[in-house]
Structure 1
Amino acid sequence: MDRKELFEKKPKIKINDKISWCPTSAAMELIGGKWKSVILTHLISGTKRYNELRKEIPGITERTLSLQLKQLEEDDIVNRKVFTKKPPLKVEYTLTEFGQTLVPILNLIIEWGLMAAETKGEFVFDEE
């Protein structure tokens, strides 16, 4: 079934046992919320350890970061790799192949955010 036919038939979409009435709602089921897209943009550049993500996203709590990473892992967007051979325990996160399909969209969101800052707001730099 092609996209045009899908739009004409208007099927409901079921992801994670939740029914969505449109593709946008289905997408937001996976990447919506305040922090998921932020976490994903930080993983575009490659593998990150948990503490690296914590430092790069100062507004997020440890609990929220853990929960969001777990949800992204359950949805096959992020891969979690645990290294236990020698202490201390090391955990790394990367985008899965499915997660990589989000990179062009995330880059557009980044660009739009920069344009919005230039148009509607301002850039604030920390004084050193």
Structure 2
Amino acid sequence: MIDSQNPARSALTAADDGAIPVAAMVESIVGCKWSVRLLQLCAEGCQRPSAFLRACPGLSSKVMNERWQKMLRFGIVQRAVHGEKPPVEVEYRLTPFGQRFLGLLEEVRRLQEAVDLGELATRRPPPR
């Protein structure tokens, strides 16, 4: 049995109900250190909840599940459940939208790195 969220269907439903602006989505995900870390691990090939918990010391399963639910609603990840009776196997994978979203996070990381290295001025020039 496979139970997966359909990001295309979710996007259509969101559009009918008033789509979530991408900026609000970015703020919601980037505002949580665990969401960003989970997405990074997912991009690196991690799929199973137990593997995510091992890779994130200090992350509780409750908070992890809350983060996954949010990312499922946004269509960033999809969830697959294999098996019909316990113990079932659950996997999380990035959707095509999630892969593109991860590109935004990578650009934020590169921008921060450039600022940290002093390659970009962080102050505005004085008004004339």
Establish whether TM, by shorter chain, passes 0.5.
yes
* Equivalent in the alignment of 1:99: 98
2:59 aligned partner, one-letter code: I
* Equivalent in the alignment of 1:62: 61
Pairs aligned (count): 99
Q: Which runs of 4+ in 1 moved over 6 A?
A: none
1:1-128 alignment, distance < 5 Å: 15=20, 24-84=23-83, 88-110=87-109, 115=113
RMSD: 2.8
What are the ranges of 5 or more consecutive residues in structure 1 without an aligned counterpart? Answer: 1-12, 120-128
Tell me the CA shift for residue 14 of structure 1: 5.5
More strand by share: 1
1:104 aligned partner, one-letter code: G
SS at match of 2:79: strand
User: How far apart are the structure 1 equivalents of 2:70 and 2:49?
Assistant: 15
What are the ranges of 5 or more consecutive residues in structure 2 without an aligned counterpart? Answer: 1-17, 118-128
SS at match of 2:63: helix
Identical residues among aligned pairs (%): 26
CA pair 67-26 structure 1, distance change in 2 beyond 3 A: closer
1:81 aligned partner, one-letter code: A
CA pair 91-97 structure 1, distance change in 2 beyond 3 A: same
Tell me the CA shift for residue 46 of structure 1: 2.5
More helix by share: 2
Tell me the CA shift for residue 30 of structure 1: 4.7
Output the TM-score relative to the length of structure 1: 0.62
**Which one has more relative contact order, counting CA pairs under 8 Å at least 6 apart?**
2
Residues 14-43 of structure 1: per-residue CA shift (max 9 Å, x gap): 52xxxx7xx644521354323211111111
CA pair 93-14 structure 1, distance change in 2 beyond 3 A: closer
